[in-house]
């Protein structure tokens, strides 16, 4: 147990008046220039044609696959299955301690549920331990995870000590563009799954909505395949997935740079057969922290939220969602330098009460825990 005290969940504060001009420049740089450079929120872009999701390409330094199930029967409650091939150069993502051979030759996997007991974070040498077909039709990480198929149908199999996962996944046709540019592509597909989880011989049949996510990008590691001494100072990231009903899924994200400068703050509401709609201005706030920090494999400590709030505005200034949540499951390290887990939420959707379960990814990689909340009020 650490002797450090959890950071206070402080409210945003305004920068010193003498720093107003510099703060405004930095705020505009992070909120406008950087998202534009990475092609954030290109809602008009269709899926790639052909709809393949390759792990490698000319000039690429990173790729990412993510399968998220935000609500499962007890005792599992959620599933997180996320991989990274290569390195991003972002402060919040790069696990330099886990590099095998070189950053571009390293893959990582974080996989677990609320009940899984195996080691959730694993690293691999891509040349020696992975099979990554150029069209993404066969993706294998050691003997731990295998994803096969081409859009819209996929199969996922995982075998870990005491744990097995078998899923058939079919995309519904709805997708969201989190970013689409020459430098970076990150998109997510709404999908349905059926399958089973086997934990210590006990089988749990599962079915419902999931999220399939894919990203790839050009990074400085293409020029120098070594850990970067200086990284892009994006140090806070949180990502959430909630199934509202059998056809509807909510996702939201908040990302900020050192000093609390907002980079991305958006939500996507996706309904099978009806498309995806993006909303801006998401306000995520930690209300209380857990008493003890989580300790990463490299010894780094992170205090995770115990309770938090998310406000998502809709049209005409009205609140579309007001959510209050409690992180109530074990968490797994390996989403970049952060954690994934599950929570119970309650709140309102357009003023009507809702409640259920959600999935969280949370990375806090700043030098001080309070930096995340130092938003610049302009």
Question: Mind listing the pLDDT tens digit for each residue in 27-78?
Answer: 777 877 778 777 777 777 899 889 999 998 888 999 999 999 999 999 999 9
Average pLDDT over residues 136-148: 98
Average pLDDT over residues 152-170: 98
Q: Regarding predicted confidence, which is higher, 321 or 44? A: 321
User: What share of the chain has pLDDT > 90, as a percent?
Assistant: 79
Two structure tokens written together for 194: 């059926």
Statement: residue 206 has pLDDT above 80: yes
pLDDT at residue 372 in the model? 43
Q: Regarding predicted confidence, which is higher, 28 or 152? A: 152
Average pLDDT over residues 281-309: 96
Q: Regarding predicted confidence, which is higher, 24 or 286? A: 286
Taking CB atoms within 8 Å and a gap of at least 24, the contacts of 311-318 are 311/282, 311/283, 312/250, 312/252, 312/267, 312/279, 312/281, 312/282, 312/283, 313/279, 313/280, 313/281, 314/279, 314/350, 318/350
**Alpha-carbon distance 211 to 361, whole Å?**
14
* 101, 212, 251, 269, 320 from 282: Cα distances, Å: 39, 22, 11, 13, 10
Statement: residue 25 has pLDDT above 80: no
pLDDT at residue 316 in the model? 80
pLDDT at residue 9 in the model? 56
pLDDT at residue 373 in the model? 40
- Closest listed residue to residue 276, CA positions, set 17, 29, 21, 44: 44
pLDDT at residue 370 in the model? 43
Average pLDDT over residues 150-176: 97
**Model's pTM, two decimal places?**
0.92
* Lowest-confidence region among 2-6, 92-96, 201-205: 2-6
pLDDT at residue 5 in the model? 57
Q: Which residues contact 360 (CB under 8 A, 6 or more apart)?
A: 238, 239, 240, 305, 325, 327, 340, 341, 342, 343
- Closest listed residue to residue 331, CA positions, set 352, 353, 302: 302
Statement: residue 13 has pLDDT above 70: no
The per-residue pLDDT of the chain, averaged, comes to 90
pLDDT at residue 327 in the model? 98
């Amino acid at each position: 147990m650490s002797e450090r005290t959890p950071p206070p969940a402080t409210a945003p504060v305004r920068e010193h008046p003498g720093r107003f001009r510099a703060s405004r420049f930095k705020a505009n740089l992070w909120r406008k220039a950087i998202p534009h450079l990475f092609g954030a929120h290109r809602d008009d872009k269709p899926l790639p044609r052909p709809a393949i999701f390759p792990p490698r390409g000319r000039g690429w330094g990173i790729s990412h696959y993510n399968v998220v199930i935000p609500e499962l029967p007890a005792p599992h409650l959620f599933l997180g299955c996320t991989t990274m091939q290569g390195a991003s150069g972002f402060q919040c993502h790069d696990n330099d301690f886990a590099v095998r051979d070189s950053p571009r030759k390293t893959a990582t996997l974080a996989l677990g549920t609320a009940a899984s007991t195996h080691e959730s974070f694993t690293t691999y040498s891509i040349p020696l331990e992975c099979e990554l077909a150029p069209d993404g039709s066969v993706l294998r990480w050691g003997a731990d995870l295998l994803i096969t198929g081409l859009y819209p149908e996929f199969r996922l199999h995982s075998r870990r000590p005491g744990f097995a996962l078998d899923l058939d996944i079919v995309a519904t046709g709805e997708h969201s563009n989190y970013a689409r540019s020459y430098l970076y592509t990150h998109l997510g597909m709404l999908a349905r799954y059926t399958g089973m989880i086997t934990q210590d011989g006990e089988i749990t049949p599962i079915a419902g909505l999931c999220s399939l996510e894919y990203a790839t990008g050009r990074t400085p590691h293409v020029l120098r395949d070594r850990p970067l001494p200086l990284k892009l100072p994006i140090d806070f990231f949180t990502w959430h997935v909630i199934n509202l009903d059998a056809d509807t899924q909510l996702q939201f994200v908040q990302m900020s740079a050192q000093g609390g400068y907002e980079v991305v703050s958006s939500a996507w509401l996706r309904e099978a057969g009806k498309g995806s709609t993006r909303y801006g201005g998401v306000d995520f706030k930690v209300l209380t922290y857990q008493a003890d920090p989580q300790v990463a494999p490299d010894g780094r400590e992170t205090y995770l939220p115990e309770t938090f709030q998310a406000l998502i505005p809709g049209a005409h200034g009205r609140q579309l969602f007001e959510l209050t949540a409690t992180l109530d499951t074990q968490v797994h390290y390996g989403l970049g330098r952060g954690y994934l887990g599950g929570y119970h939420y309650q709140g309102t959707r357009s003023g009507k009460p809702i409640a259920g379960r959600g999935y969280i990814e949370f990375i806090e990689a700043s030098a001080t825990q309070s930096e995340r909340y130092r938003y610049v009020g302009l």
